[in-house]
Amino acid sequence: MGEQNITNLFEAQTIYADHKDLIHDVAYDFYGERMATCSSDQYVKIWDSDGRGGWRLTGSWKAHHGSVWKVTWAHPEFGQVIATCSFDRTAAVWEEVGDTNASGSDKGLRTWVKRSNLVDSRTSVTDVKFGPKHLGLLLVTCSADGIIRIYEAPDVMNLAQWTLQHEIPTKVSISCLSWNPSLSKINPPMLAVGSDEPNTTNAAASVQTDKSAACNGKVFIYEYSEGARRWTRTDCLASAQEPVNDIAFAPNLGRSFHLLAVATKDVRIIKVECVLESSNSANGGARFKTEVLCAFDAHNSCVWRVCWNVTGTLLASSGDDCQVRLWKMQYLNQWRCAAVFKNAPLGDSPPAARAHTAYVRLAAMANPAHMPKH
């Protein structure tokens, strides 16, 4: 299939990044001009594009007392704001202060101030995401003990004040969540969460969980009901049975359905269609019609990450094989692997030689026409 030699098309350039442990998350801002990384070394770093294809470190600070799992940008309307969550059981909201436009390139590092520390969780906070901006300034966190918390900043000018609006217990360990970014006024606010609760293999355990046997799925959909003023679980996707590591709604720019990517033992793309209220009874009362569009085990290992491009036409995934695969819809609604980026692991060379370093590799695809033919 020509996938193996695709890496030859990339020339790697390395830049010292200096995270002292694994990087757990990378996030681009709304425009794709800034990038945030977070690591187990408890640091968050901000990288700015210099407009010529290079990236420069403009912020670096110790953000937490434990591994920083996720970092996410707020919509730029709210300022230069990020949120982080950590093993230390807190989530934090950070804002860049000072003149963000002028002279930053010269004076080096900019200052990020912790505006708020959300300390409600009793266990590791596994994910944090800002809500779609048309809902206001919302922040949702989830924790290893399975509680989803939705915070709101009533005054968008005051990032220090966040009120805990909703606490949704799920009873299973939650590893990831995703807002449905749909701009539609018809759809109520919607969240998808993924659980990494391991499947108990022994029969005894499965007997005692028969209460939840209605759905063994690991992906749950929650919706906000305006009438009841609370979030309720409206669906559980039975098609995802293995522990889920990451989950992502595709940006919905007017699709009539939602696309949900799930990183579990494989890469899954699930189409979620709202069932009209009228036909609800015919459908056994289900709120959604879901369909697994594809499930790829091409990573041949646990898949850790999925991420959509801005139009929801391209999905990137990465797994334990340390490869990134790009998935694209081809004819007949078939999703196909469009490219494989491989970052050769260094192998078993003595760690001392390169201990505590990390590098940025820059690569540019020479010509899109060089993409692999299947």
Q: Which 315-334 residues touch other proteins, going by CB under 8 A?
A: 316-322, 324, 326, 328-333
Q: Does 358 bind other proteins (CB under 8 A)?
A: yes
In the region spanning residues 179 to 238, those forming contacts with other proteins, defined by CB under 8 A, are 182-186, 196, 198, 201
Closer to other proteins at the Cβ: 38 or 140? Answer: 38
Which structure tokens are listed for 184? 């539609």
In the region spanning residues 90 to 119, those forming contacts with other proteins, defined by CB under 8 A, are none
On whether the CB atoms of residues 339 and 316 are closer than 8 A, the answer is no
Nearest to 262 by CA among 294, 230, 285, 234: 294
Binding mask 71-90 for other proteins (x = CB under 8 A): ------x---------xxx-
Q: Does 61 bind other proteins (CB under 8 A)?
A: no
Q: Does 120 bind other proteins (CB under 8 A)?
A: no
Cα–Cα distance measured from residue 289 to residue 285, given in angstroms and rounded to the nearest whole number: 11
Q: Are strands 267-274 and 288-296 parallel, antiparallel or unpaired?
A: antiparallel
Cα–Cα distance measured from residue 353 to residue 38, given in angstroms and rounded to the nearest whole number: 23
The least distance separating other proteins from the CB of residue 257, rounded to whole angstroms, comes to 7
The least distance separating other proteins from the CB of residue 327, rounded to whole angstroms, comes to 11
Q: Does 362 bind other proteins (CB under 8 A)?
A: yes
Closer to other proteins at the Cβ: 141 or 318? Answer: 318
The least distance separating other proteins from the CB of residue 311, rounded to whole angstroms, comes to 4
On whether the CB atoms of residues 340 and 365 are closer than 8 A, the answer is no
> Any idea which residue has 């049975």 for tokens?
241
The least distance separating other proteins from the CB of residue 53, rounded to whole angstroms, comes to 8
Tell me the site size for other proteins, rule CB under 8 A: 115
Q: Does 245 bind other proteins (CB under 8 A)?
A: yes
Q: Does 56 bind other proteins (CB under 8 A)?
A: no
Q: Are strands 258-263 and 314-319 parallel, antiparallel or unpaired?
A: unpaired
Closer to other proteins at the Cβ: 107 or 134? Answer: 134
Report how far apart, in Å, the C-alpha atoms of 82 and of each of 47, 58, 358, 359, 373 are.
13, 14, 22, 23, 39
- Give 219's contacts (C-beta < 8 A, 6+ positions apart): 192, 193, 194, 195, 236, 237, 240, 244, 247, 260, 262, 270
Q: Does 161 bind other proteins (CB under 8 A)?
A: no
Which structure tokens are listed for 62? 């110790």
- Binder among 25, 95, 96, 235 for other proteins (CB under 8 A): 25
- Binder among 39, 60, 116, 170 for other proteins (CB under 8 A): 39
Ramachandran assignment for 330, one of left (phi > 0), alpha (psi -120 to 50 degrees), beta (any other):
beta
Segment lying near other proteins (by CB under 8 A), choices 160-168, 210-218, 229-237, 243-251: 243-251
